[in-house]
Amino acid sequence: MGRKVTIAAATLNQWALDFEGNLDRILQSILDAKEMGATFRSGPELEICGYSCEDHFYESDTFLHSWEVLAELLQAPLCKDMLIDVGMPVMHRNVAYNCRVIFLNKKILLIRPKKILCDDGNYRETRWFTSWKKDKEVEDFHLPRMIGNITGQKLVPFGDAVISTLDTCIGFEICEELWCPESSHVPLSLDGVEIICNGSGSHTELRKGYVVRDLVKTATMKCGGCYVYSNLRGCDGQRVYFDGTSSITLNGHVLSRARQFSLDEVEVITATIDLEDIRSYRDSKRSNAHLSSISKSYPRILVDFSLSPELDTVLPIAQPIEWPCLSPEEEIAQGPACWLWDYLRRSGQGGFFLPLSGGVDSSSTALLVYSMCTLIMENVQRGGDPKVLSDLRRITGDPEYTPKSASELCNRFLVTCYMGTDNSSKETKQRAAALAAAIGSYHMHITIDKAISAVLEIFSTVTGLFPKFAVNGGCPRQNLALQNIQARMRMVLCYLFAQLMLWARDRPGGLLVLGSANVDEALRGYMTKYDCSSADINPIGGISKTDLRRFLHYAKEKFKIPIIGDIISAPPTAELEPLKQGQLTQTDEEDMGMTYAELSQFGRLRKIENCGPYSMYCKLVQTWSSSYSSKQVAEKVKHFFRCYAINRHKMTVLTPSYHAESYSPDDNRFDLRPFLYRANWSWQFRAIDKQVEHISSVKRSASSGSIKQSKKSENVSKVRTGVTV
């Protein structure tokens, strides 16, 4: 009959500039697609070189090696009789484009450049690429000779065209083209293109999972057709994690979807569709059909090849499935854990070292490593990607190793250390030890007072001065300095232990130091510069305290670790000031002058809603009207902006973190701002003061108005009752 087509979308964990590994994973996906009966395979954006090559896209080597990989693919016997669509950068007439290259049986059919580039947040595509502006036009592309020698072609079409096979028509839109208001799938669908492929490089963020689902469902519900969305997966050398949710959708229904987070480097999904379902859906949507009849056509590349088999009557077609979205706490449990795994195996290190204070932040970080271990266990037990076990054996230095349990694995991967001082309470020490025992980390407890005294002694010998804590009569400067030296001393010890702990345990290599400053503390600058926040990597640096608490509640049940309950209910504290009869005198929220919940709101308004001090005040004066007076709101906003301005310099040395929040203050990558501010914000704060004054005068006149009004009504009622004034 020739109407049923099996299509494959590949999800690949590529790595920028790892041409060898990227080629292997592409080949593996083609093999898997073939074995699953597909005749067409589409893959993610820039899959040949990796998405995050960034300024390496200025290097001609990146283009050269991408062509070399394509040459391997063209010649691979595996690729015979399959229509293949791969992503790579291509230079055409001295301009670099982000392209799809579509080939079949050693011939390149089309090179399709990206038409709408992405420049939001983490993306800077226009820095390296130019968008193709010539709608529905193609030009001749002169193939490099090494490719021409394989394909026997000199020129191939380059531009905005579609592929017509004997049985259907295939078109392309690349990632951002789906997100933007002038998506290519609309004119493609109106021109009768039945299968639309989107090779994408879309990163994860908390609560973003529904976006692609809604986009592909809406696109195909409105326009009809089959949408093949292939996304990257993993950490390809940057702070972002590509979440891998590739999907195949038909006429508004999702037919197949890859997992959102997974350790599998290659995951191929397929769906068999009936092309007639597209035709009847579109034709019965009369508005669609009328618009189609007047739409301008795309150039069609005719191919003497059919995606559907001759005899397909009994071939079962795919049925709609549900696309459930993970909760934010599940996203935290899985996303950073997968990112940590990619980072660990690609960095060549032997595990992690974590200073564990028993507080919410460092405990969350420890639990994320444990979560990584549970994902590895699940993968090994399921017989998932064999690469997981081979990487595991390489990292542990044990070629025979097979993990017995997540906690046994955690013992090999994670060294935790409580670094106590005279100011530490026994409760935090116990909580750290109990958590470490529950997850199985290799735990130590050390005291660092001697080191701190030694450093202070150097200062006192030179100056003859002895700084004191505030409780002992010291000024704020002395008080802070005494806190910061403890925090910084911990950092120095972390790196020492990270370097030598595997030596002490008779294993090769070193450990990556994990940091655990959360996104809110960074924004407010409530951290000591170059203390434990200056780690190698930080899995929670993009996550808010509020979400970390939600994650801890989830982890307590999921991993059955009761001590997490105590960690959640303890007040966040730095424990850097002396205790009073063994009790805490210092809490984070009191020190900061704002709650974590308020801080999170400031963060969202500053970054996501682009509020300066004045706009932030105008918004919060309404939102917080039931709790604070306009004057109090003004004070809070000013306090936040003062702290932010004074501490912004700390963002320049922020430890690289997993990107999770759209309000991340990550300097010069996600949040481009100066780091030297005029911290009194005199102009801006005056604007706030004027508003406060205005609101107060309106209130004053309203209340005097209401007094007059009530006197007036009193008189009226007296007249009515016959009493004269």
Ligand X SMILES: NC(=O)CC[C@H](N)C(=O)O
Catalytic residue among 114, 545, 638, 650: 114
Cα distance between residue 236 and residue 242, in whole Å: 8
Catalytic residue among 52, 183, 184, 357: 357
In the complex, minimum distance from the CB of residue 695 to ligand ATP, in angstroms, rounded to a whole number = 36
- Cα distances from 216 to residues 185, 228, 242, 697, in angstroms, run 10, 9, 18, 52
Please report whether residue 420 would count as binding ligand ATP according to CB under 6 A.
Answer: yes
The answer for 76, left when phi > 0, alpha when psi is -120 to 50, beta otherwise, is: beta
Query: Coil, strand or helix: which one is 6?
Result: strand
For ligand DND (CB under 6 A), the number of binding residues is: 16
Stretch that binds ligand ATP, among 34-42, 85-93, 513-521, 625-633 (CB under 6 A): 513-521
The structure tokens listed for 235 are 């950490």
Active site residue 357: yes
Please report whether residue 232 would count as binding ligand X according to CB under 6 A.
Answer: no
For ligand ATP (CB under 6 A), the number of binding residues is: 20
Which of 62, 165, 202, 407: binder of ligand X (CB under 6 A)? Answer: 202
Please report whether residue 118 would count as binding ligand X according to CB under 6 A.
Answer: yes
Please report whether residue 33 would count as binding ligand DND according to CB under 6 A.
Answer: no
Q: Which is nearer to ligand ATP, 588 or 667 (CB)?
A: 588
Which of 46, 540, 574, 651: binder of ligand DND (CB under 6 A)? Answer: 574
* 552: nearest Cα among 328, 327, 329, 339: 329
The structure tokens listed for 190 are 């109106």
R_g of the chain, CA atoms, integer Å: 30
- The site partner of 361 among ligand ATP, ligand DND, ligand X, none (C-beta below 5 to 8 Å per kind) is ligand ATP
Please report whether residue 355 would count as binding ligand ATP according to CB under 6 A.
Answer: yes
Query: Coil, strand or helix: which one is 560?
Result: coil
Q: Which is nearer to ligand X, 129 or 141 (CB)?
A: 129
In the complex, minimum distance from the CB of residue 208 to ligand X, in angstroms, rounded to a whole number = 8
Residues 498-537 that bind ligand DND (CB under 6 A): 521, 525-529
Q: Measured at the alpha carbon of residue 22, what is the angle toward residues 323 and 142, in degrees to the nearest 5?
A: 105
Please report whether residue 360 would count as binding ligand ATP according to CB under 6 A.
Answer: yes
Please report whether residue 540 would count as binding ligand X according to CB under 6 A.
Answer: no
Q: Which is nearer to ligand DND, 315 or 584 (CB)?
A: 584
Query: At 213, which amino acid appears?
Result: R
Please report whether residue 517 would count as binding ligand ATP according to CB under 6 A.
Answer: yes
Which of 425, 484, 499, 546: binder of ligand DND (CB under 6 A)? Answer: 484
Would you report the helix, strand and coil content of the chain in percent, each value rounded to 5?
Answer: 45, 15, 35
In the complex, minimum distance from the CB of residue 98 to ligand X, in angstroms, rounded to a whole number = 9
- State how far Cα 22 lies from the chain centre: 21
- State how far Cα 366 lies from the chain centre: 19
Residues 664-683 that bind ligand DND (CB under 6 A): 676
Report whether 223 contacts 234 (CB < 8 A).
Answer: no
Active site residue 45: yes
Q: Which is nearer to ligand ATP, 169 or 660 (CB)?
A: 660
Please, which residues have CB within 8 angstroms of residue 703's CB and are 6 or more apart in sequence? none
Catalytic residue among 4, 29, 42, 45: 45
- Cα distances from 107 to residues 33, 142, 145, 147, 703, in angstroms, run 20, 14, 14, 10, 82
User: Residue 443's beta-bridge partner residues?
Assistant: 416
Q: What is the 3-state secondary structure (H, E, C) of 312-360?
A: CCCCCCCCCCCCCCCCHHHHHHHHHHHHHHHHHHHHCCCCEEEECCCCH
Q: Could you give the count of Cα atoms lying within 13 Å of 460 in the half-sphere of its Cβ?
A: 12
Active site residue 577: no
Cα distance between residue 56 and residue 612, in whole Å: 35
Residues 32-71 that bind ligand X (CB under 6 A): 45
Please report whether residue 532 would count as binding ligand ATP according to CB under 6 A.
Answer: yes
* 38: nearest Cα among 242, 299, 264, 226: 226
Please report whether residue 303 would count as binding ligand X according to CB under 6 A.
Answer: no
In the complex, minimum distance from the CB of residue 122 to ligand X, in angstroms, rounded to a whole number = 8
Give the CB-nearest residue to ligand DND. Answer: 574
Active site residue 131: no
Cα distance between residue 410 and residue 429, in whole Å: 20
Cα distance between residue 394 and residue 351, in whole Å: 11
- The site partner of 676 among ligand DND, ligand ATP, ligand X, none (C-beta below 5 to 8 Å per kind) is ligand DND
Cα distance between residue 28 and residue 34, in whole Å: 10
In the complex, minimum distance from the CB of residue 59 to ligand X, in angstroms, rounded to a whole number = 20
Please report whether residue 198 would count as binding ligand X according to CB under 6 A.
Answer: no
- The site partner of 420 among ligand ATP, ligand DND, ligand X, none (C-beta below 5 to 8 Å per kind) is ligand ATP
In the complex, minimum distance from the CB of residue 125 to ligand X, in angstroms, rounded to a whole number = 7
Instruction: Point out which residues bind ligand X (CB under 6 A).
Output: 45, 118, 120, 123, 175-176, 179, 201-203
- Residues designated as active site: 45, 114, 175, 357
Instruction: Point out which residues bind ligand DND (CB under 6 A).
Output: 480, 483-484, 487, 521, 525-529, 574, 576, 588, 591, 649, 676
Instruction: Point out which residues bind ligand ATP (CB under 6 A).
Output: 355-357, 359-362, 418-420, 424, 490, 516-517, 521, 527, 532, 572, 574, 588
